Amino acid sequence: MDMSKIEKPESSVKKQYDLSGRYIVITGGAGFLGRTFAEAVAEMGGIPLLLDINQTYVDEAVQYLVKKGYKADGFEINITSKENVRSVVKQIAEKYKQVHVLINAAAFAMKNLQEGGAGFFAPFEEYEQDLWQVSIDVNLTGTFLITQEIGKIMKAHKYGVIINVASDVAVISPDHRIYEADARFGYEGVPFNTPIAYPVTKAGILSFTRYLATYWAKDGIRVNSISPAGVYRNQDPKFVEQLVYRIPLGRMAFPEELKGPITFLASDASSFMTGGNLIIDGGRTIW
Protein backbone atom coordinates (compact mmCIF):
# COMPACT_ATOMS: atom_id res chain seq x y z
CA MET A 1 0.00 0.00 0.00
CA ASP A 2 1.20 3.49 -0.88
CA MET A 3 0.82 5.40 2.38
CA SER A 4 1.47 8.69 0.60
CA LYS A 5 -1.93 8.40 -1.10
CA ILE A 6 -3.85 8.04 2.15
CA GLU A 7 -5.41 11.19 3.54
CA LYS A 8 -3.67 12.17 6.75
CA PRO A 9 -5.68 13.09 9.86
CA GLU A 10 -5.91 16.63 11.15
CA SER A 11 -2.74 17.66 12.93
CA SER A 12 -4.76 19.73 15.40
CA VAL A 13 -6.18 17.58 18.19
CA LYS A 14 -8.88 20.21 18.70
CA LYS A 15 -10.05 19.65 15.13
CA GLN A 16 -9.81 15.89 15.54
CA TYR A 17 -12.39 16.04 18.33
CA ASP A 18 -14.70 18.36 16.39
CA LEU A 19 -18.05 16.72 15.57
CA SER A 20 -19.63 19.71 13.87
CA GLY A 21 -22.38 18.77 11.43
CA ARG A 22 -22.28 15.07 12.25
CA TYR A 23 -25.50 13.20 12.93
CA ILE A 24 -25.19 10.86 15.88
CA VAL A 25 -27.89 8.27 16.58
CA ILE A 26 -28.08 7.18 20.21
CA THR A 27 -30.27 4.25 21.22
CA GLY A 28 -31.50 4.50 24.78
CA GLY A 29 -30.99 8.19 24.19
CA ALA A 30 -33.53 9.29 26.80
CA GLY A 31 -31.89 7.25 29.53
CA PHE A 32 -29.34 8.26 32.14
CA LEU A 33 -26.24 7.40 30.12
CA GLY A 34 -27.91 8.17 26.80
CA ARG A 35 -28.46 11.78 27.87
CA THR A 36 -24.87 12.02 29.03
CA PHE A 37 -23.59 10.77 25.68
CA ALA A 38 -25.94 13.11 23.81
CA GLU A 39 -24.75 16.12 25.77
CA ALA A 40 -21.12 15.13 25.20
CA VAL A 41 -21.37 14.93 21.41
CA ALA A 42 -23.55 18.05 21.26
CA GLU A 43 -20.89 19.99 23.16
CA MET A 44 -18.46 19.07 20.37
CA GLY A 45 -20.81 20.27 17.63
CA GLY A 46 -22.56 16.98 16.84
CA ILE A 47 -26.31 16.65 16.38
CA PRO A 48 -27.69 13.86 18.59
CA LEU A 49 -30.69 11.92 17.29
CA LEU A 50 -32.20 10.21 20.31
CA LEU A 51 -33.97 6.86 19.98
CA ASP A 52 -35.94 5.39 22.85
CA ILE A 53 -39.05 3.34 23.52
CA ASN A 54 -41.12 6.11 25.15
CA GLN A 55 -41.93 9.24 23.15
CA THR A 56 -42.57 11.32 26.26
CA TYR A 57 -39.08 10.59 27.59
CA VAL A 58 -37.59 11.21 24.15
CA ASP A 59 -39.28 14.62 23.97
CA GLU A 60 -38.07 15.52 27.46
CA ALA A 61 -34.49 14.57 26.60
CA VAL A 62 -34.57 16.54 23.34
CA GLN A 63 -35.95 19.61 25.11
CA TYR A 64 -33.25 19.31 27.76
CA LEU A 65 -30.62 19.60 25.03
CA VAL A 66 -32.43 22.33 23.09
CA LYS A 67 -32.70 24.45 26.24
CA LYS A 68 -28.94 24.20 26.57
CA GLY A 69 -28.60 25.62 23.07
CA TYR A 70 -27.90 22.42 21.15
CA LYS A 71 -29.55 20.95 18.07
CA ALA A 72 -31.21 17.60 18.68
CA ASP A 73 -34.00 15.36 17.45
CA GLY A 74 -35.73 12.27 18.74
CA PHE A 75 -37.69 9.24 17.59
CA GLU A 76 -39.76 6.66 19.42
CA ILE A 77 -38.59 3.15 18.60
CA ASN A 78 -38.86 -0.47 19.65
CA ILE A 79 -35.45 -1.82 18.73
CA THR A 80 -36.62 -5.42 19.13
CA SER A 81 -39.03 -5.03 16.19
CA LYS A 82 -37.39 -5.35 12.78
CA GLU A 83 -40.30 -3.60 11.07
CA ASN A 84 -40.26 -0.69 13.50
CA VAL A 85 -36.48 -0.34 13.29
CA ARG A 86 -36.63 -0.23 9.50
CA SER A 87 -39.42 2.35 9.59
CA VAL A 88 -37.64 4.68 12.01
CA VAL A 89 -34.27 4.39 10.26
CA LYS A 90 -36.01 5.18 6.98
CA GLN A 91 -37.39 8.37 8.56
CA ILE A 92 -33.92 9.31 9.76
CA ALA A 93 -32.38 8.62 6.35
CA GLU A 94 -35.00 10.70 4.55
CA LYS A 95 -34.62 13.61 6.96
CA TYR A 96 -30.85 13.66 7.49
CA LYS A 97 -29.46 11.63 4.55
CA GLN A 98 -26.46 10.38 6.50
CA VAL A 99 -25.67 8.94 9.93
CA HIS A 100 -22.07 9.51 10.97
CA VAL A 101 -22.11 7.83 14.36
CA LEU A 102 -24.25 5.19 16.09
CA ILE A 103 -24.03 4.78 19.86
CA ASN A 104 -25.76 1.61 21.04
CA ALA A 105 -26.65 2.51 24.62
CA ALA A 106 -30.08 0.85 24.93
CA ALA A 107 -30.21 -1.95 27.49
CA PHE A 108 -32.89 -3.88 29.32
CA ALA A 109 -33.43 -2.80 32.92
CA MET A 110 -36.03 -3.44 35.61
CA LYS A 111 -37.78 -0.15 34.79
CA ASN A 112 -38.68 -1.60 31.37
CA LEU A 113 -40.88 -4.28 32.94
CA GLN A 114 -44.65 -3.91 32.85
CA GLU A 115 -44.99 -6.79 35.32
CA GLY A 116 -42.90 -9.56 36.81
CA GLY A 117 -40.42 -7.18 38.42
CA ALA A 118 -40.05 -9.37 41.49
CA GLY A 119 -38.10 -11.92 39.46
CA PHE A 120 -35.62 -9.46 37.97
CA PHE A 121 -33.15 -9.95 40.82
CA ALA A 122 -33.93 -13.60 41.46
CA PRO A 123 -30.97 -15.93 42.13
CA PHE A 124 -29.66 -17.84 39.12
CA GLU A 125 -31.38 -21.08 40.15
CA GLU A 126 -34.79 -19.39 39.99
CA TYR A 127 -34.15 -16.89 37.22
CA GLU A 128 -37.09 -16.72 34.84
CA GLN A 129 -36.59 -17.66 31.21
CA ASP A 130 -38.82 -14.77 30.12
CA LEU A 131 -36.46 -12.26 31.74
CA TRP A 132 -33.45 -14.02 30.27
CA GLN A 133 -35.07 -13.84 26.84
CA VAL A 134 -36.09 -10.18 27.01
CA SER A 135 -32.52 -9.27 27.99
CA ILE A 136 -31.27 -11.07 24.89
CA ASP A 137 -33.98 -9.43 22.79
CA VAL A 138 -33.04 -5.90 23.85
CA ASN A 139 -29.33 -6.06 24.57
CA LEU A 140 -28.32 -8.30 21.68
CA THR A 141 -31.10 -8.60 19.10
CA GLY A 142 -32.04 -4.92 19.38
CA THR A 143 -28.43 -3.87 18.95
CA PHE A 144 -28.13 -6.24 15.98
CA LEU A 145 -31.23 -4.86 14.25
CA ILE A 146 -30.47 -1.14 14.62
CA THR A 147 -26.81 -1.64 13.68
CA GLN A 148 -27.82 -3.62 10.63
CA GLU A 149 -30.03 -0.81 9.31
CA ILE A 150 -27.80 2.12 10.26
CA GLY A 151 -24.82 0.20 8.91
CA LYS A 152 -26.41 0.16 5.46
CA ILE A 153 -26.48 3.97 5.45
CA MET A 154 -22.89 4.18 6.63
CA LYS A 155 -21.72 1.65 4.06
CA ALA A 156 -23.36 3.63 1.26
CA HIS A 157 -21.41 6.73 2.35
CA LYS A 158 -18.19 4.79 3.01
CA TYR A 159 -17.99 6.33 6.47
CA GLY A 160 -19.29 5.50 9.89
CA VAL A 161 -18.45 5.10 13.55
CA ILE A 162 -20.25 2.63 15.81
CA ILE A 163 -19.85 2.59 19.58
CA ASN A 164 -21.35 -0.29 21.53
CA VAL A 165 -21.88 0.11 25.26
CA ALA A 166 -20.75 -3.02 27.10
CA SER A 167 -19.78 -3.13 30.79
CA ASP A 168 -16.93 -3.95 33.15
CA VAL A 169 -18.87 -7.15 33.95
CA ALA A 170 -18.53 -8.13 30.30
CA VAL A 171 -14.82 -8.48 31.07
CA ILE A 172 -14.93 -9.82 34.64
CA SER A 173 -17.61 -11.50 36.72
CA PRO A 174 -19.83 -9.36 38.92
CA ASP A 175 -18.56 -9.52 42.50
CA HIS A 176 -21.55 -11.09 44.24
CA ARG A 177 -20.14 -10.20 47.67
CA ILE A 178 -21.01 -6.51 47.29
CA TYR A 179 -24.72 -7.34 47.53
CA GLU A 180 -24.48 -9.63 50.57
CA ALA A 181 -24.75 -8.59 54.22
CA ASP A 182 -21.43 -8.25 56.05
CA ALA A 183 -21.59 -7.72 59.81
CA ARG A 184 -17.92 -6.74 59.94
CA PHE A 185 -18.77 -3.47 58.23
CA GLY A 186 -22.28 -3.05 59.57
CA TYR A 187 -23.55 -3.73 56.07
CA GLU A 188 -27.07 -5.14 55.80
CA GLY A 189 -26.84 -5.98 52.11
CA VAL A 190 -29.08 -4.76 49.32
CA PRO A 191 -32.17 -6.37 47.73
CA PHE A 192 -30.68 -6.51 44.26
CA ASN A 193 -27.80 -8.08 42.31
CA THR A 194 -26.41 -8.24 38.81
CA PRO A 195 -28.81 -10.58 36.97
CA ILE A 196 -27.12 -13.36 34.99
CA ALA A 197 -28.53 -12.06 31.69
CA TYR A 198 -26.79 -8.69 31.96
CA PRO A 199 -23.10 -9.74 31.94
CA VAL A 200 -23.80 -12.53 29.47
CA THR A 201 -25.40 -10.20 26.92
CA LYS A 202 -22.79 -7.49 27.50
CA ALA A 203 -20.04 -10.04 26.85
CA GLY A 204 -21.84 -10.81 23.60
CA ILE A 205 -21.59 -7.12 22.70
CA LEU A 206 -17.79 -7.38 22.81
CA SER A 207 -17.82 -10.22 20.28
CA PHE A 208 -20.35 -8.31 18.16
CA THR A 209 -17.96 -5.34 18.18
CA ARG A 210 -14.94 -7.35 17.07
CA TYR A 211 -16.89 -9.12 14.34
CA LEU A 212 -18.18 -5.91 12.75
CA ALA A 213 -14.84 -4.13 13.15
CA THR A 214 -13.19 -6.64 10.83
CA TYR A 215 -16.24 -7.08 8.59
CA TRP A 216 -16.77 -3.37 7.88
CA ALA A 217 -13.17 -2.10 8.01
CA LYS A 218 -12.93 -2.02 4.21
CA ASP A 219 -16.09 0.10 4.06
CA GLY A 220 -14.74 2.96 6.14
CA ILE A 221 -16.73 1.97 9.24
CA ARG A 222 -15.02 1.74 12.60
CA VAL A 223 -16.58 -0.24 15.46
CA ASN A 224 -15.50 0.01 19.08
CA SER A 225 -17.03 -0.46 22.52
CA ILE A 226 -16.80 1.03 25.98
CA SER A 227 -17.00 -0.91 29.22
CA PRO A 228 -17.84 1.41 32.10
CA ALA A 229 -17.96 0.36 35.73
CA GLY A 230 -20.67 1.51 38.12
CA VAL A 231 -21.75 5.12 37.67
CA TYR A 232 -22.75 7.06 40.77
CA ARG A 233 -26.46 7.89 41.07
CA ASN A 234 -26.99 8.48 44.79
CA GLN A 235 -26.85 4.77 45.60
CA ASP A 236 -27.00 3.53 49.17
CA PRO A 237 -23.80 4.75 50.89
CA LYS A 238 -23.07 1.34 52.39
CA PHE A 239 -23.42 -0.31 48.99
CA VAL A 240 -21.09 2.28 47.47
CA GLU A 241 -18.61 1.56 50.26
CA GLN A 242 -18.65 -2.16 49.42
CA LEU A 243 -18.20 -1.51 45.72
CA VAL A 244 -15.45 1.11 45.85
CA TYR A 245 -13.41 -1.08 48.20
CA ARG A 246 -12.86 -3.23 45.08
CA ILE A 247 -11.89 -0.32 42.80
CA PRO A 248 -8.25 0.85 42.88
CA LEU A 249 -9.22 4.51 42.50
CA GLY A 250 -11.50 4.10 45.50
CA ARG A 251 -14.72 5.51 44.06
CA MET A 252 -17.43 5.06 41.45
CA ALA A 253 -17.46 6.94 38.16
CA PHE A 254 -19.31 10.18 37.67
CA PRO A 255 -21.40 10.36 34.46
CA GLU A 256 -19.32 13.30 33.26
CA GLU A 257 -16.29 11.02 33.16
CA LEU A 258 -17.83 9.07 30.28
CA LYS A 259 -18.10 12.17 28.11
CA GLY A 260 -14.42 12.20 27.13
CA PRO A 261 -14.22 8.50 26.17
CA ILE A 262 -17.43 8.59 24.13
CA THR A 263 -16.33 11.75 22.31
CA PHE A 264 -12.92 10.24 21.63
CA LEU A 265 -14.44 7.15 20.02
CA ALA A 266 -17.06 9.15 18.09
CA SER A 267 -14.52 11.56 16.64
CA ASP A 268 -11.54 11.39 14.31
CA ALA A 269 -9.28 11.45 17.37
CA SER A 270 -9.70 7.65 17.36
CA SER A 271 -9.36 7.28 13.58
CA PHE A 272 -6.83 4.42 13.84
CA MET A 273 -8.84 2.49 16.41
CA THR A 274 -11.33 -0.25 15.60
CA GLY A 275 -12.38 -3.44 17.36
CA GLY A 276 -11.22 -2.01 20.67
CA ASN A 277 -12.89 -2.01 24.05
CA LEU A 278 -12.25 1.08 26.14
CA ILE A 279 -12.50 0.10 29.80
CA ILE A 280 -13.50 2.93 32.13
CA ASP A 281 -13.57 1.28 35.53
CA GLY A 282 -11.18 3.00 37.92
CA GLY A 283 -8.95 -0.05 37.62
CA ARG A 284 -11.51 -2.59 38.82
CA THR A 285 -10.80 -5.15 36.11
CA ILE A 286 -7.04 -5.24 36.76
CA TRP A 287 -7.45 -6.71 40.26
- Residue 105 makes CB contacts below 8 A (sequence gap 6+) with 26, 27, 28, 29, 31, 33, 34, 37, 165
User: What's 265's domain CATH number?
Assistant: 3.40.50.720
Per the domain annotation, does 273 fall within a domain?
yes
Per the domain annotation, does 179 fall within a domain?
no
Per the domain annotation, does 261 fall within a domain?
yes
| Of residues 100, 103, 52, the one with CA closest to residue 73 | 52
Please give the pLDDT value at position 110. 57
- pLDDT beneath 50, residues of the chain: 114
How many structural domains comprise the chain? 1
DSSP 181: -
- Residue 122 makes CB contacts below 8 A (sequence gap 6+) with 128, 131, 195
| CA atoms of 206 and 209, how far apart (whole Å) | 5
Per the domain annotation, does 83 fall within a domain?
yes
Please give the pLDDT value at position 2. 82
Q: What is the pLDDT of residues 108-117, one digit of tens each?
A: 975 655 455 6
| CA atoms of 90 and 104, how far apart (whole Å) | 18
Please give the pLDDT value at position 117. 60
Per the domain annotation, does 188 fall within a domain?
no
Per the domain annotation, does 182 fall within a domain?
no
Please give the pLDDT value at position 6. 82
Please give the pLDDT value at position 109. 76
Phi, psi of 131 (to 5 degrees): -70, -40
Please tell me the pTM assigned to this model: 0.95
Residue 222's domain comprises: 9-174+196-239+253-286
Q: Using an 8 Å Cβ cutoff, are 150 and 263 in contact?
A: no
Per the domain annotation, does 206 fall within a domain?
yes
Per the domain annotation, does 70 fall within a domain?
yes
